Amino acid sequence: MSADDRTPQRGSDDRRGSDDRRDAKGRERGGARARGEGHRGSLAPSERRKGTDPARLVAFDVLRQVADSDAYANLVLPPMLRSRSISGRDAAFATELAYGTLRLRGRYDAVIAECVDRPLDKIDAPVLDVLRLGAHQLLGMRVPSHAAVSETVGLARERVGAGSAQFVNAVLRKISRTELEEWLETVEAAQTDEIARMSVVDSHPQWITRALRDSLVGSGRPVDELGSLLEADNAAPRVTLVARPGLVTQEELGEQVESRPGRLTPTAVVLDGSDPGAVPAVRAGLAGVQDEGSQLVTLAFTQAPVEGADARWLDMCAGPGGKAALLAAIAGTRGARVVANEVQPHRADLVDRALVAVPADSVERVQVWDGRDIGEQEPGAYDRVLVDAPCTGLGALRRRPESRWRRSPADVKVLAALQRELLTSALHAVRDGGVVGYVTCSPHLAETRAVVSDVLAALPEGSVEMLDARALVTEIAGTDVPLAERLDVQLWPHLHGTDAMHLTLLRRTGL
């Protein structure tokens, strides 16, 4: 019998003596309780608790910071767990609850919409976040239904008030009566076309689903991989470390933590757990957290052949410093120096911290300049220039799940204009015979191939040539790694287990 069915029954005679008001152990009950008038609403006792456990509170607070402060969950959650002394299984539960809810928000919103009598934008935002957290526990985690409902109602009481807790209870009970597969059939049937159906089931905005479909086709992949790509975006990725060459080897790093070697690069170590801060080499700056796809495109850039000297490298968009540290470590083994440029001072500070362990003579300086001006300020001054351009981040949705709800098509237009300016500046900052690597963590065609095509079209014919990035990546990762028959490279979560990194390599020939 559910809590909603536990309606007290009055006895046939309310005029009971004191003996009738004693329980089986002889304890006297209050008159109201003896008459069945002590019931306090439809919530079961566990659901009337004033609060919930610390892990659920953390997950809720992360969702509110993401919504209210435009924060990123992966930056907010770890310090929050530390400050509240939450670790082990509780920390893992809070992490999955927060990240999973953010990833699958679109799916859960569609389910919630089937269970309420008002538009979702008419529900207070904190209450809606509570409902999403409850829905994820019911439909996306191995949490018993009674615990998911009661604990989420307790969360509602503590964070959004008793009145809202009654509403949360009613909605979650409706959700709990139907299995996930049936819910997916219901919300899918309400959509009008295939893109809309895939978007709601796999929790992506429709414009992103369309863009990913176009990117697959434009990169030489079959369109029927779209479903696998969307699913991969919703899978929690393993934490990957980079063993910075000359500072620590992949084998030495692997001995410090339960892990396995990466499958694409000689520098990657994939953790079995999720606490890189406990790894001695990471604390010392000999290693860092870096997606293996990011490592792979950086290594390929450093292997691209330049004509003549190879001594001065520029990381044009260096913040927060992962690629800069890998570049500087490699430069240290080859007698080269790196200039790390970042337009935002606080991100330049992060670059400084990332470079703490690399040889001092492999870093010329960390500077705060606008990368768009470097080509004019320092024409032909570098042998290599890496442009890890600001982008929509659509290639890292599994790591930054809130990005899918934060970005819009308008962002693509703005960022593509910036990307063209940065790439143009880089081609002027590199010398003739030098190499420019154009990298984005987005597969969107407007941020990748279109940017390169537009920039090259605006330059004198024959002044820049495209190098075979695919051959370099294959040399590093192996011939069994699936890559399209193109000169540029597009990595994919569902194929390579990495973020969807793009790499184009260009050599200046006579600009």
Residues recognised as catalytic: 441
Known binding residue 391? Answer is no
Cα–Cα dist 343/284, whole Å: 26
State the Cα angle at 241 between 238 and 242, rounded to 5°.
145
Buried b or exposed e, range 312-351, using 16+ CB within 10 angstroms: bbbbbbbbbbbbbbbbbbbbbeeebbbbbbbbeeebbbbb
Beta pairing partners, 430? 382
Known binding residue 220? Answer is no
Known binding residue 317? Answer is yes
Identity of the residue numbered 26: G
Cα–Cα dist 275/410, whole Å: 36
Cα–Cα dist 59/100, whole Å: 10
- Tell me if residue 409 falls in helix, strand or coil: helix
3-state secondary structure string across 138-172: HHHCCCCHHHHHHHHHHHHHHHCCHHHHHHHHHHH
Q: How far is CA 384 from the centre of its chain?
A: 30
Kindly report the backbone phi and psi dihedral angles of residue 467, in degrees, each rounded to the nearest multiple of 5, phi listed first: -90, 165
Beta pairing partners, 338? 313, 363
Residues 6+ away with beta carbon under 8 Å from 94: 54, 55, 56, 58, 59, 62, 77, 81, 86
Cα–Cα dist 44/35, whole Å: 19
Tokens of 471: 């051959």
- Tell me if residue 282 falls in helix, strand or coil: helix
Sign, CA dihedral 101-107-112-118, equals: positive
Beta pairing partners, 438? 387, 504
Known binding residue 318? Answer is yes
Extract the annotated binding site for S-adenosyl-L-methionine: 317-323, 342, 370, 388
